[in-house]
Amino acid sequence: MQYSRNFSIDPNYCPNWRSLQAREYASAFLDANEETFVIPESEDDDDVVAYYAYLTTEETDSIPIKYAHSCNETDSIRGFGTAIKSMLLGGLTQDQIAEEMGTSQDNVEMYIKLFFDIEAYLGNKFILSSIISPFIKKQEIDEAKKQSGLWMSISLAFGWDKAKRILQRDISMPKKDVEFFLDQMRSAIDMQAAEFSLLARSGYAARPCDFERFIAKLSIEQAAGTTAASLEVAKSSEKFREALFSLAKSKEEEHNGETVEAVAKPSVTKKVTKKPITNKKTKVKK
């Protein structure tokens, strides 16, 4: 299998195509048993060949390849690979990333080549967003991948200098940065509330998290608003709750009495059963 190496030629592009290609060759090598496997003559990428050799022999004189491989293999524990990706998306150069990571530029360059080859597309946010948040994002993914996606998304949106204050939990954040991120949070919650409204009108079921996000939006507005704003918050909150109850009710009717969860109230679960509870006594024969 030949992996896509250029977005403009084949949009089925993976930033880690070099490592994928090397592993493809390594897999073919193992499947060959005692037969001799030879990398295709058409393979002209030296880094693919070098990484393939390391995967099949576990030996190499290249410190950068060892470093890159280690960053990738331990990313779910230490997060070094995710950090390099985030810094690159956040506008840092390779030498700046190396300084942040306490390593050499050669090591950073090799990691990027093998596992995050996106430098040619750094000016194209559409392509970068499609890499960070593909259309399969709604499928179940593990927590490590969610965390990695979060780091990269925030860094791409705000730049590394701002993003690292949140990602590294910097408690000494300047007031202007705090206000900046609060504004961004308000905007994000507004978007989520709007998204729910559009989905609800399209007939999608309400979820507990929709209500929680909306309440978070209202809480922010109430904390910063006037009495009049507070009254509007209360009215909106009640209307939103009624909408959720209405959607939950329609879902119950669709299930024809089968057990369903009432999603309108967070942390409270209602069940509707086919058989109602009765107080009939059971007769026992003597």
Shared domain check, 210 and 185: yes
User: Encoding tokens for residue 255?
Assistant: 């299930």
The total number of structural domains in the chain stands at 2
11 in a domain, yes or no? no
Domain boundary among 139, 171, 203: 171
Same domain, 154 and 228: no
Mark whether 159 and 202 lie in a shared domain: no
Tell whether 64 and 163 lie within a shared domain: yes
DSSP H or E stretch at residue 19: helix 17-31
Examine the fold and report which residue of 152, 171, 190 is the final residue of a domain before the chain moves on. 171
Q: Please tell me whether residues 164 and 199 are part of one structural domain.
A: no
**270 is a domain residue:** no
**Tens place of pLDDT for every residue, the chain, 286 residues?**
788 888 888 888 899 999 999 999 999 888 876 567 788 888 999 999 999 999 998 889 999 999 999 999 999 888 899 999 999 999 999 999 999 999 999 999 999 999 999 999 998 988 898 888 764 455 556 777 778 888 898 888 888 988 887 776 655 666 676 676 667 666 666 666 666 566 555 555 555 565 566 666 666 566 555 445 544 545 555 555 565 556 555 555 555 444 444 444 444 444 444 444 444 444 444 4
Distance (Å) of CA 164 to CA 94, 131, 176 = 17, 21, 15
Taking the CB of residue 106, how many other CB atoms lie within 10 A of it? 15
163 and 49 share a domain? yes
Secondary structure of 50-97 in HEC code, one letter for each residue: HHHHHHHHCCCCCHHHHHHHHHHHCHHHHCHHHHHHHHHHCCCCHHHH
Residue 186 is part of which domain span?
Answer: 176-254
Do 167 and 194 sit in the same domain of this protein?
no
Domain boundary residue among 149, 171, 193? Answer: 171
For residue 162, give the nearest of 182, 148, 147 by alpha carbon: 182
Kindly state whether residues 150 and 75 are assigned to the same domain.
Answer: yes
The reply to whether 45 and 152 lie within a common domain is yes
Scanning the structure block, which residue is given the tokens 């409204």?
Answer: 197
CA separation for the pair 65, 71 (Å, rounded) = 10
The answer to whether residue 271 sits within a structural domain is: no
Whether the model pTM is above 0.75: no
Q: Is residue 274 part of a domain?
A: no
CA distance 108 to 16: 14
> Is residue 273 assigned to a domain?
no
Residue 281 falls inside a structural domain: no
Based on the fold, state whether residues 34 and 47 are members of the same structural domain.
yes
Q: Is 130 inside a domain boundary?
A: yes
Do 161 and 207 reside in the same domain of the chain?
A: no
Tell me: do 147 and 196 sit in the same domain: no
> Who's near 111: CB < 8 A, 6+ residues apart?
64, 67, 68, 71, 72, 81, 84
Residue 277 within a domain: no
